[in-house]
Amino acid sequence: MNFESRMDRSILTQNFQNEPKIFINTPVLIIIGGATATGKSGLAIELAERFDSIILSADSRQVYREFTIGTAKPTRQERDRIPHYLIDICDPTETLTVADYQMRAQAILSRGKIQFLVGGTGLYIKAIARGMKIPRVAPQPELRSQLQQLGQKTLYEMLQQVDTIAANRIHANDQVRTLRALEVFYVTGRPISEQQGEDPPKFPILYLALNSDRLEQRIAKRTGQMLEMGFVEEVKTLCEKYGEQLPLLNTLGYAEMRQYLRGEISLSEAERLTVLHTRQFAKRQRTWFRGVSEIEWFDSDAVDLVDRVGSRIQQFCKNVQRD
């Protein structure tokens, strides 16, 4: 069972599963967002099965193969039960840009019917829901290295000369965005401000998110379950195969377990730090999603969660059919 979906499903689905299924021909996107450990994946699997749907992952780490336990990927059994997309599509040594993700997701969404976009990576969700126009320029390490040697003050002055609009949007001390804007300009010959904007999808979107007052307990429980499932062994294998300097091994959970494997901290301390850092990350996620005005919020801990969300989706789809 998925780490986010350990709930009494016999209780959660006893009413909703008796309702007639809805079949719809036009593409409809149901977004289920929210902070980590709120139960998004488990809920989505129950709903996708009910609506004969598919699930697209909106998780920036689940796209990478072999990073499984620490990213709380759906199990093989769950993925056999419901088709999942945008999981295990890159090797750990590759870099998947937001533009790459958007292109892959849009190709799937064009196929029609009810589809679920599920995850906590806000930028991935925004790229789809808002139709962000993203310059198709891959990172240029050599160019960035050369530019960085000039210093941020000079870089920002260069940006003011080639793209005044972008410079006005970017803080003078923001080197990351300054470098990206210059990188796009020198690769394409066009200002990044001319290549940005939004082109929202034409199909209807229902934007839902989960929240929990018991998030800290959920995170602690899930972290313990990860360790039981062999998280330490997964990190050890990844370190041996790719080297400890692999960027993905600096991410949440993996970095703490790597410290343990180095002998720098105890396993209990690694677990404690993982819970702490995950809680801090979840707080940032929650803040991001709260800034999206169209989101409809649901309580992860409600015993009739599947019924409530399922009924809302049914209502939404009926309105789409009438329109």
Same domain, 122 and 241: yes
Q: Taking 80 as the threshold, does the pLDDT of residue 193 lie above it?
A: yes
Q: Side by side, which strands form the sheet with 205-211?
A: 84-85, 54-57, 114-118, 28-34, 205-211, 296-299
Crossing angle between the packed helical segments 141-148 and 175-188, to the nearest 10 degrees: 120
Q: What pLDDT does 195 receive?
A: 82
Same domain, 151 and 253: no
Q: Is 283 a member of any domain?
A: yes
Domains: count for the chain: 2
Q: What pLDDT does 197 receive?
A: 80
* pLDDT above 70 coverage of the chain, percent: 91
Q: Is 216 a member of any domain?
A: yes
Q: Taking 70 as the threshold, does the pLDDT of residue 112 lie above it?
A: no
Looking at 194, 223, 238, the residue that finishes a domain is: 194
Least confident among 4-8, 38-42, 172-176: 4-8
Q: Is 30 a member of any domain?
A: yes
Same domain, 127 and 174: no
Q: Please, which pLDDT band fits residue 15 given cuts at 50, 70 and 90?
A: low
Q: What pLDDT does 320 receive?
A: 84
Please report, for the domain that includes residue 302, its CATH number.
3.40.50.300
Q: Is 1 a member of any domain?
A: no
Same domain, 184 and 312: no
Domain containing residue 78: 9-133+199-322
| Rounded average pLDDT over 27-39 | 95
Q: Is 36 a member of any domain?
A: yes
Q: Is 3 a member of any domain?
A: no
Q: What pLDDT does 139 receive?
A: 80
Please report, for the domain that includes residue 177, its CATH number.
1.10.20.140
Same domain, 34 and 81: yes
Give the number of C-alpha atoms closer than 13 A to the C-alpha of residue 62, restricted to the C-beta side: 21
- For residues 116 and 30, the answer to whether their CB atoms sit within 8 Å is yes
Q: What pLDDT does 16 receive?
A: 56
Residue 157: name the closest of 182, 135, 183 by CA. Answer: 182
Report d(CA 151, CA 43) in Å as an integer: 48
Q: Which DSSP state fits 199? A: -
Same domain, 71 and 165: no
| Rounded average pLDDT over 174-178 | 91
Helices H, strands E: what count in the chain? Answer: 14, 6
Same domain, 174 and 270: no
Same domain, 92 and 211: yes
Same domain, 245 and 166: no
Q: What pLDDT does 46 receive?
A: 95
Q: What pLDDT does 318 receive?
A: 86
Q: Which DSSP state fits 101? A: H
| Sole residue written with tokens 């999206």 | 292
Helix (H) or strand (E) holding 30: strand 28-34
Q: Taking 80 as the threshold, does the pLDDT of residue 322 lie above it?
A: no
Q: Is 2 a member of any domain?
A: no
Predicted model pTM = 0.84
Same domain, 27 and 126: yes
Q: Please, which pLDDT band fits residue 243 given cuts at 50, 70 and 90?
A: very high
Same domain, 177 and 62: no
Q: What pLDDT does 12 receive?
A: 39
Q: Please, which pLDDT band fits residue 10 given cuts at 50, 70 and 90?
A: very low
pLDDT in tens, 52-63: 999 999 999 999
Q: Is 247 a member of any domain?
A: yes
Same domain, 179 and 300: no
Mean pLDDT computed over every residue of the chain:
90
Q: Taking 50 as the threshold, does the pLDDT of residue 11 lie above it?
A: no
